[in-house]
Chain A
């Protein structure tokens, strides 16, 4: 029988290998699923792991989708390391889109027209503020009323979705949009410009790369980052040291809200250039998975963001090219996280084969 034996020291090697093992297992199960659905497993897997990187244009699409994931996940990593369980990043992202979109619409209506992309920074700044506001609500309720940030941030996701629906079906609806639920297209001065002609990948990707460096410095070389992590690892030690848990709560939530809001505004001002009810395809939740698969580490998050972006695109490709339902992507994402958590036990434990003796009842402890 197999037995789990605790290790004397957690294994660094396993810490890095665990996501890879989880990925491999997910791929195996995916292949089995393809066969069960009557599709060629190799073709199916290539849709997810090969096709998205096959050429310059596909790679830019991967990076495009990875940008909001990485931005959100960086903020979530700060939160989770501080033991603040923000799972409402989706709502904060939507509020960022709403705020950014609102800024873009207001600029156009008030007659502020400029050269292409000139006002994008304003739109993005509005998005950051919008996300911070939404996360700030969660922080306030936890700070003042001790309400669980898990439940409050989640409830606010549903509220944010309804708010977005209300705005695009109502006051912000494009009067010349044939009654479709969408805002007018944003003026070109508020667009987040592509990096080069012919691709949809915009400057937000560069922002994301810079953010990775900034967050690494914040988490591992800054006093504030140190305080947050002590608070997350050992709250009594943080109190002993004199670190304010209240400051930690607000810092973590405002940072992650701001990042999610930034991601949301980028989606609105970048590829979409308007607001619709489908600004986000669950990026805020996928970002949670990116954060964990990335080991809550900025470099890991970069890799995990690219991986999950490939899964998302792979799902679309699989649907259009070999007729696999798009909903599979959601299954694989969830499966990956589950398997990752299971594989993580190997970091703290060793698996031993005890032989068939165990079945005869003569176990030695």
Chain B
């Protein structure tokens, strides 16, 4: 039983990175911008976060550095895509490739370095509860912040006027522009906020979850976060759910190995990616459903003068 509780705890820890990144991408996409550069942003932020943690010993500084770097990278992407109207797919890809290269370059100085040992985080009283305590209340504070962010995001999108404006920009930027809203600035704000969240996700990965830096650390989580937004039909709560599901599948490979299942480790390592493909296939199957839930202008450029 205790093992199951530990599995849940590991699932939550593993899913937090993808949840944060997925939330950031959700904001992007609600405004109508598809950012394929998530992987690159997370890699850059992971290095930045690790460097900050190494220098200051503070998790908070690491998350701040990650958010800063993620937001900056997203801003460059945003200016190119929103003002210069470059192709969203190609520019996002460029960001991912550039981020991979730059993070490998800068990260050379940090490969093999070790951070200070992590403090054990326990929520007072609640963590002493049987099973539930082990499963849910011994997480790094960022796990709880992530859940809070999901709630905050849902409230923002569906209960505030600003959220309505954001959704309308994603729905039809031409109409929003005709009504006088600064569509391009709104989109940029969404992109930068999304980038910052992806940045925190990357920093969490290198500073808390792994914790280390090695080239290619993110291992496709940025892409999985992108798949997540489709899987979640662009709703914050479902992003969290999907992230934990993914975290669970990732943990599954270790559990199976621990149970002595005779499958090669490399084949087990395929599990998260295969699971993502399966999930994508199941969700995308109904094109009508996707059409209704997807922000209608996703991926299409916006020309104010047209």
Chain A residues packing against B (C-beta within 8 Å): 4, 6, 85, 87, 141, 144-148, 150-152, 154-156, 158-159, 162-163, 165-166, 169-170, 285, 288-289, 292, 325, 327-335, 337-338, 341-342, 344-345, 348-349
Contact = CB atoms under 8 A, between A and B. Distances in A.
For the complex of A and B, the 6 pairs showing the least CB-CB separation, nearest first, are A330-B101, A334-B98, A166-B266, A145-B281, A327-B105, A337-B94
B285 A159 contact: no
B150 to A, nearest CB: 22
Given A147-B281, A148-B280, A288 B97 contact: yes
B151 interface: no
A34 to B, nearest CB: 13
A288 B93 contact: yes
A331 B266 contact: no
Interface of B: 36, 40, 76, 80, 83-87, 89-91, 93-95, 97-102, 104-105, 108, 215, 219-220, 223-224, 226-227, 230, 264, 266-267, 269-270, 273-274, 276-277, 280-282, 284-287, 290, 305
B227 A337 contact: no
Contacts of A337: 90, 93-94, 97-98
A332 B97 CA distance: 10
B95 A329 contact: no
B129 to A, nearest CB: 38
Given A151-B223, A292-B90, A334-B97, A327 B284 contact: no
B285 to A, nearest CB: 5
B112 to A, nearest CB: 15
A5 to B, nearest CB: 10
A338 B100 CA distance: 13
A151 B101 contact: no
B216 to A, nearest CB: 10
A333 B97 contact: yes
A350 to B, nearest CB: 13
Nearest to B280: A147
Contact of B93 (A87, A144, A331, A345): A87
B305 A145 contact: no
Given A146-B285, A338-B95, A341-B90, A158 B101 contact: no
Contacts of A85: 89
Contact of B266 (A147, A169, A342): A169
Contact of A163 (B97, B102, B219, B270): B270
B219 to A, nearest CB: 7
A147 B284 CA distance: 5
B108 to A, nearest CB: 6
B97 A145 contact: no
Contact of B87 (A150, A162, A341): A341
11 contacts: A145-B281, A154-B223, A155-B276, A159-B270, A169-B264, A169-B266, A328-B101, A335-B98, A337-B93, A337-B98, A345-B84
A327 B216 CA distance: 12
B222 to A, nearest CB: 10
Contacts of B40: 334
Given A155-B224, A331-B98, 4 more contacts: A146-B287, A155-B220, A327-B101, A334-B94
Contact of A147 (B90, B95, B277): B277
A348 B270 CA distance: 43
A141 B101 contact: no
B147 to A, nearest CB: 25
A7 to B, nearest CB: 13
Contacts of B290: 146
A189 B280 CA distance: 43
A325 B101 CA distance: 11
A155 B277 contact: yes
Contact of B284 (A148, A292, A349): A148
B292 to A, nearest CB: 14
A341 B98 contact: no
Contacts of B230: 148, 151
Contacts of A150: 36, 89, 226
A345 B86 contact: yes
A4 B85 CA distance: 11
Contacts of A159: 270, 273-274
B266 A162 contact: yes
Contacts of A331: 98, 101-102, 105
